[in-house]
Amino acid sequence: MTFPPPAPAAIAAQQNPPATPEWAKDAVWYQIFPERFRNGARQSNPRPEDIGEVPFTGWRVSPWGMDWYARDDWEQPHAANFWTTVFQRRFGGDLVGVREQLPYLQQLGVNALYFNPIFWAPSLHKYDAIALHHIDPTLGPDRDGDLRALAAANETEDPATWIWTAADRYFLDLVAEAHARGMKVILDGVFNHSGTGCFAFQDVRRLGPKSRYADWYQISEWRAGGTFAYASWDGAGTLPNFGRDAETLNPGIKQYLFAITRRWMDPSGAGWPAEGVDGWRLDVAYCVPHGFWREWHAYARGINPEVYTTAEIVGPAQDWLRPDEFSAVMNYEWTYPTLSFFTPHPQAIGAAEFQQRINTLHARHEPGTVHILQNLLDSHDTGRVLTMLESTCPPFSGWDEYFHWAKAANNPGLVTRQPGTRAKQALKLAVAWQFAGPGAPMIYYGTEVGMWGANDPCCRQPMLWSDIVYDDEAHGYHGPLPQATPRRPDGELLAYYQRWIALRHAESALRRGSFRWLPTPNEHTVIFARELGDTAIVCAINKGDHATALPAWPGARDLWHGKPAPTAVKPHSFVLLRLPTGVFSQ
């Protein structure tokens, strides 16, 4: 077989590539859930056979603008139970739609894109891969042609047998165009498990212990009749775990994961990583042995020393953020105190506790690492931030309570309708902290135009676009709403995000500067400074109902309004100031 060899340890040691690539300090991330972002190739819309289960009678691709808690015609016989049909919905989002909207993303100002899984898989989320060496045909421009080509290719795990489909090539063209627009691209790598439809798992089902893929999975018992027992990430058998020991993954699956890493990072095989993706987000990284991550990172950094890798870690992450492992994490440890401070809940934490929790987080990591952690307010695995704030979420200390509280089925008090002014104002203050504070801001698609929703699957609704007509929101999770509400993108919120992104790009101190808290007079206000060279920027955020007086800094300018600094921060507002050189050293 012609697997690409891992980077030799001697070469890796000589290069000593940094775990914290410089470009990531300037990143403003945008997370795209492809099936729900934009439909650009209706000829490739999913069909029943693509879903992996026989859908319901009359099933069709759902209208993009449908009221989320309403039911399409094929769902009506099951209207009493939202959960019976919602995971079978497809709206037809694809990479063609993403590429069409690169101008929108550029106008927004983001310069780093994170794609949820785009590899061949039957689910809407695609964490259940059939194969990791192909883009899903329904996400490309020619579903039918790709499926015919794949059926005729007789591929194995050997890269020498792999073809390039239209979807594969289209994705690489998308990457090239994103790069031309100054955007980096990272992919979601699911290296802990596959779906049961994976070519390797299907071979094990056919051949049992004689399959050459038998060690690719955690098989605990071979049974009579051709069945076998195996471990799965979900515990239900639908996401079988890859084989491993205490230190690393088994050799066969490890070589396959190395091969697909090179395929997408250096697609021509000519040692030109600029043609490929710029990094990876690694799903449930905490489930995979550290030994594998060290080997894989040496290999990936041998391909591209500036590769960015971010782990899904939902708790303290210092054990994964090491020189020979991950660059960053999806920074949920930042999300918990941020929501806990900015929520309108009467028991929201105060400034002192907020500062202490942020200090504890920063103390775990090197300053360079802090600059590139992905600070997020919501994601595909959480309730939309506007829904959390509209529902006056309580303070959160960790993942379990945060994750489950926003599930519509778990929380009868969750407000799933369109959020109001108070939630939007709280979001604006959280965004001010997200963009003025240390770390790389990450926007979940649609948050910038005011999208709302409970946790999965309701946080994965179709993107709001100005050129699409949407049904009014007339239904909630518990039934019809008293009054229907129009749905459209929030242009004012979009402009607010654009302004903050532009300021962050313009002010290097907000991206790379040191960070320190300044004294605050009350528990409703936080004041902090970002300093780089001769530049000092101060941000004061007041979530309280009364104005907060500011220190008198002679010569300070209001960066947001372009005028002399005010003497106080108004209620539910912020101030962003540039201070004269040397103010803090006087």
Residues assigned a catalytic role: 283, 312
Tokens of 262: 């090179």
Residues with Cβ within 8 Å of residue 495, at least 6 apart in sequence? none
> In terms of DSSP H, where are the helices of 208-349?
251-265, 290-303, 332-342
Element (H, E) at 363: helix 351-363
Residues with Cβ within 8 Å of residue 193, at least 6 apart in sequence? 232, 233, 239, 240, 241, 242
**How big is the CA angle at 355 (ends 352 and 356), to the nearest 5 degrees?**
85
CA distance 504 to 99: 25
Tokens of 160: 């020498």
CB 231, CB 224: distance < 8 Å: no
Residue 1's nearest CA partner among 156, 149, 154 is 156
Count the Cβ atoms, other than its own, within 10 Å of residue 255.
18
Tokens of 278: 């710029």
- Name the CA radius of gyration of the chain, rounded: 24
What are the beta bridge partners of residue 31? 114, 444
Count the Cβ atoms, other than its own, within 10 Å of residue 472.
15
Q: Which residue do the tokens 């395929």 mark? A: 263
CA distance 53 to 117: 20
Q: State the DSSP string of 199-241.
A: HHHHHHHHHGGGSTTGGGB-EEEE-GGG-EEE-BTTSSSSSBB
CB 34, CB 323: distance < 8 Å: no
Q: State the DSSP string of 533-579.
A: TTEEEEEEEE-SSS-EE----TT-EETTTTEEPPSEEPTTEEEEEEE
Tell me which DSSP letter residue 157 carries: S
Element (H, E) at 529: strand 525-532
| Length of the chain as a residue count | 586
Element (H, E) at 29: strand 29-32
Element (H, E) at 135: strand 131-135
